[in-house]
Structure 1
Amino acid sequence: MSTSRYAPPALDQIPDDIREKILAVQEKAGFVPQVFLGLARRPAEWRAFFAYHDALMLKEEGSLTKGDREMIVTTTSAANQCLYCVVAHGALLRIYEKKPLVADQVAINYRKADISPRQRAMLDFAMKVCERSHEVDEADFTALHAHGFSDEDIWDIAAITAFFGMSNRIASFSGMMPNPEFYLMGRVPKAKA
């Protein structure tokens, strides 16, 4: 399965630095997520996209967990109707949270999902940034501070939401489809060796 509107380049046509990163992802995941190939047709944009992605999603500072970050992506991507990001990041969310139902729950209605009050407050803010960022005010910060979020954590919630708003639109207009492997990840516990 490939990007439907824009054919990705062959691996041997991709600059060495990008190809090395794609092959490293393939080694770890067992497949190459479509976004890595779909964006590789524009190397400068690929590098910028993944540099900012990694700065937001892989950082160790702050109180947001990897699960929190993927929950923000899954929830706001559902609001933006981005199939690729809901499926791909929903898979990561299930794995990080060790909850096979959580991604479907937050994608459909996070207010009824099996998540903590802290996560619900985080998603309330993320959805406000996603849909009505011009309405964010001091009361939003106060509500998040009450759940232990720092101002830097709040920046992270907003930046993840905004970055994936862009990513959602690129994936949607380009016809990027999720890899079939994402659909099953994190749904059934792995057999113990």
Structure 2
Amino acid sequence: MPHIPLPEHLPGITGLLEYRLDTALPIRDLTQILLRGESSLTQGERELIATLVSSRNCTNFCEAAHTKAADLLLGESETARLVKQNFETAPVSDKMKALLNIAALAQINGKSVTTEAVERARLAGATDLEIHDTVLITALFCLYNKYVDGLATVAPSDPAFYQTLGERIVGRGYTRPPGGFVAPK
């Protein structure tokens, strides 16, 4: 049960963002830029970063939502699952493994990101912008994970919910729909 009153039809982060629209706007805008804006990383790769961070933070709502978004963007469901198990052996490029390593380190503590980890990413072909965005996506999802868990939001257990949410994320991105989210009748 959430620690504050939230719209029952909006579990997870969605209810929190609707609760305070003034703070939600910059958070949504930043998320849209980082996960859907122009990048040399695919949208699926960026969702994998969000998935890994949310998984390591044990935030069920965010992990399920971003795993489903990654699955849809990648066109299959094995990669995200394997990234969460062990990104070093997952079927992703060496560059992506190095970036996921940076994400894993930053998720623990920003100061855990080492010069060696950054050099590994560069040697694997990562640009400074990709390294920057990996750390920023990680930091943003640590914020989201703490926000969702710190206010004890509801995480539905029905996989169909996350299928629909993943389709919405892939189709519309992270912007708020005009008029907000309407409660089902």
1:73 to 46, 50, 65: 50
**Structure 1: where are the runs of 5+ without partners?**
11-30, 187-193
- Report what 2:73 is aligned to: 96
- Structure 1 residue 184 displacement after superposition: 4.4
Q: In structure 1, the residue corresponding to 2:88 is in which secondary structure?
A: helix
Q: Residue 70 of structure 2 contacts residue 80 of structure 2 at CA under 8 Å; is this kept in 1?
A: yes
Mapped pair 1:175 → 2:152: yes
**Structure 2: where are the runs of 5+ without partners?**
167-185
Q: Which has the larger radius of gyration?
A: 1
Trace 1:21-32 onto structure 2 (pairs within 5 A).
none
- Report what 1:118 is aligned to: 95
Can you list the C-alpha shifts for 1:33-70, whole angstroms capped at 9, x where unaligned? 7422332111211112112111211211x311101111
Trace 1:30-179 onto structure 2 (pairs within 5 A).
34-60=12-38, 62-179=39-156
- Structure 1 residue 116 displacement after superposition: 2.5
- Structure 1 residue 150 displacement after superposition: 1.0
- Structure 1 residue 128 displacement after superposition: 1.0
1:79–1:34 CA distance, 2 compared to 1 (3 A): closer
1:184–1:54 CA distance, 2 compared to 1 (3 A): closer
Distance, in Å, in 1 between the alignment partners of 2:16 and 2:109 is 29
Q: In structure 2, the residue corresponding to 1:166 is in which secondary structure?
A: helix
Q: Residue 47 of structure 2 contacts residue 69 of structure 2 at CA under 8 Å; is this kept in 1?
A: yes
- Structure 1 residue 107 displacement after superposition: 2.3
Q: Residue 12 of structure 2 contacts residue 148 of structure 2 at CA under 8 Å; is this kept in 1?
A: no
Identity of aligned residues (%): 25
1:73–1:131 CA distance, 2 compared to 1 (3 A): same
TM-score (norm 1): 0.74
The code of the aligned residue for 2:3 comes to R
Count the aligned residue pairs: 163
RMSD: 2.4
